[in-house]
Amino acid sequence: MFVFAHISDTHLGQDRADGGARALERTERVLRALDALPGELDAVVHTGDVTDHGTPEEYAQAAKLLGASRHTVLHCPGNHDARGPYRAALLDGDPDDSAPVNRLHVLPGATFAMCDSSIPGRGDGYLDDATLDWLDAALAGAHRDRPAFVCFHHPPLRLHGQYVDPIRQFGEERLAAVVERHPHVAALLCGHSHTPAVTAFAGLPLVAAPGVVSSLRMPWEGEQNGPLDYELPPMLAYHVHDDGRLTTHFRVLP
């Protein structure tokens, strides 16, 4: 059994006229809750929009928070992130390197391909050809007897939120062709939606984590001051992979 937490969209530095205090408090609350668990997690996955503006100051905050977790934290950038500062602060990499931030993590019980679906300067997403080639090779080289999780920020299909659907990940048929070649892929995990959602993609589970910093109201729920709700509490997902099957539990953190 492989058990891991899935968080997303911490948007550190998001200034709701409070200098980023609210985003920081909510991110700390979530990470503290994970650290305080009496049981063990095999990993914590963050599917992007780690920061709100992609500044070095915001990444310094992110590095401190994520680095202090007692768990193994895996992450990928979102549309609010910036590759150079992300690399420098979170991966000890070259701040001038603007290539996609793609990382493979081989853990004892599972493989995680953390893919960069961001397009610098834009809100929508795309896995470019270099990223898909990298993913194909990474999955081909991964242990076939362990589940592989393909993670990125932008959902590669509509989730029915008017705010997010126009800036989802496009070119998704290319991603489907890659994952269909690798039967050990167990699921695809994303963020960006700011609402927990479960659907299927290429015959596999696709789970979008809820947002830490805010929650998206669906069209039929009505909108108070816009589609994003800043009052609903942060949430997270727990994924369990067992007997060849993924089960997801969602938790509200009041």
Binding residues (CB under 5 A) for Fe ion: these are 9, 49, 78-79, 192
Q: Which residue number is nearest to Fe ion in terms of Cβ? A: 49
Structure tokens at 124: 């929508």
| Residue 46: CB minimum distance to Fe ion, A | 11
- CB 122 → Fe ion: shortest distance, Å? 11
CB of 42 or CB of 52, closer to Fe ion: 52
Task: List the Cα angle 204/210/214 in 5-degree steps.
Answer: 155
CB 120 to Fe ion: min, Å: 13
Shortest CB 80 distance to Fe ion, Å: 6
Least Å from the CB of residue 192 to Fe ion = 4
The residue (of 79 and 215) whose beta carbon lies closer to Fe ion is 79
Of residues 192 and 241, the one with the C-beta less far from Fe ion: 192
* Least Å from the CB of residue 205 to Fe ion: 21
Helix-, strand-, coil-residue percentages of the chain, each rounded to 5 = 25, 25, 50
Closer CB to Fe ion, residue 138 or residue 216? 216
**Residue placing its CB nearer to Fe ion in the complex, 109 or 171:** 171
Alpha-carbon span 18 to 167, nearest angstrom: 27
Residues, the chain: 254
Tell me how far apart the alpha carbons of residues 38 and 160 are, in angstroms, rounded to a whole number.
Answer: 37
In this complex, which beta carbon is closest to Fe ion, that of residue 168 or of residue 241? 168
Sign of CA dihedral 251, 31, 48, 108: negative
Of 212, 195, 205, 210, which is closest to residue 240 (Cα–Cα)? 205
What is the side-by-side strand order in the sheet with 73-75?
Answer: 73-75, 43-46, 2-7, 235-242, 245-252
